[in-house]
Amino acid sequence: MGVIHWYYHQRIKALRVSCVMDQCLQLTITYSEYHDCFMDTVEDSRALIANIQEHVKAMRNLHSDLLSSPRQDENMKLELDARTETVKKIAKKVSNSLKKLERSIKKEEDEIEDGHIPASLRIRKTQQSTTLHLLVEAITEFNQEQLDYKEKCEERIQRVVSIARAEISDEKLEELLEQGNYASIFNADIVTETLEARKALEDVQIRHQELLKLEKSIQELRDLFVEMALLVEQQGDIIDSIEHHVMEAGEAVETARVQTKKAIVYQKKARMKKLIFLACLGVFGLVLLIFIFSSLFSSKK
């Protein structure tokens, strides 16, 4: 009975160890999948950010063409509107993905008990923060392009008004445009040539519609831009901490390199001393053998 009891006890113990090992293996696989998924999200986000930059570049060319064209090209306007909407959708999508990654990082940090942040977690924080900076830069570039185009459209309207010989101040023009009261800009009191006024009125109406779209687009992205900027500011300490860790790691590598060089020098010196010792020992042994043979030879004589 004692042998049977011992056998079952050992068997249960082995099963428990096997179960623990399986759990550890499962945790390792799960963690690896999580890390891979995290990095895939980062790569996808960066690809989308690069897509935003490509759209902004194309929009800049469209803006230039629209401003230099005497007549509005409907196809160009449709393409511009489509690209603007695409950029806004992509920006919001990337923003949501990065916020999700930030929440997962925060959850990991809250689960740390010993206060030691693993290197893998620092890597993920760096990747998320760097991607966030890239998004803010892309949104800033898009927003600036919109503002520049808006300013040029306003200048175009003012130039059209000037060509039509309308005497109106910038403040009054802005007030009438905000009200949508285009006719007042070119009424009988302001402009004398009706035909020119009509042509100018049509151009102003078109440009003003563009301004309204621009203002709406800028307003829609403003909240997202502010939110991203705040996140970047909050992560300033994180970036400083990461740089500190990188510097520490660099110093540690340099120290290790110096110590390794010293160890190699010491090893060479130790090897040299060992060779000298062996050489001395060999010489001593040779002298001893000569002495012994000499003594034996002398005794035979």
- For the chain, domain boundaries: 2-234, 242-301
The pLDDT, as a whole number, for residue 295 is 63
Residues in Cβ contact with 228 at an 8 Å cutoff, skipping those fewer than 6 apart:
95, 132, 135, 136, 139
Instruction: Compute the CA torsion angle 86, 89, 91, 92 (nearest 10 deg).
Output: 180
DSSP annotation string for 166-180: ----HHHHHHHHHHT
| pLDDT band with cut points at 50, 70 and 90 for residue 9 | very low
Residue 115 has pLDDT above 80, yes or no: no
Residue 226 has pLDDT above 50, yes or no: yes
The pLDDT, as a whole number, for residue 67 is 82
Neighbours of 185 (CB within 10 A): 23
| Positive or negative: CA dihedral 239, 245, 248, 253 | negative
Q: Which residue has the higher pLDDT, 136 or 237?
A: 136
pLDDT in tens, 82-114: 999 999 899 999 999 999 999 888 888 888 877
Enter the CATH code of domain 2-234: 1.20.58.70
Q: What value does the mean pLDDT of the chain take?
A: 70
- In the block, residue with structure tokens 């709406």: 216
186, two tokens = 């070119």
Percent of the chain at pLDDT exceeding 70: 45
pLDDT in tens, 33-60: 787 888 899 999 999 999 999 999 999 9
pLDDT in tens, 255-285: 545 554 554 555 556 566 666 666 666 666 6
What's the Cα-to-Cα distance from 242 to each of 92, 109, 129, 173, 248, rounded to whole Å? 27, 15, 10, 52, 10
Q: Which residue has the higher pLDDT, 197 or 158?
A: 158
Residue 189 has pLDDT above 80, yes or no: no
Residue 74 has pLDDT above 70, yes or no: yes
Neighbours of 152 (CB within 10 A): 15
Least confident of 141-155, 190-204, 234-248: 234-248
The pLDDT, as a whole number, for residue 87 is 92
The pLDDT, as a whole number, for residue 36 is 83
- 223-238: average pLDDT: 64
Return the HEC string of 14-50.
Answer: HHHHHHHHHHHHHHHHHHHHHHHHHHHHHHHHHHHHH
Percent of the chain at pLDDT exceeding 90: 14
- 223-247: average pLDDT: 58
The pLDDT, as a whole number, for residue 118 is 82
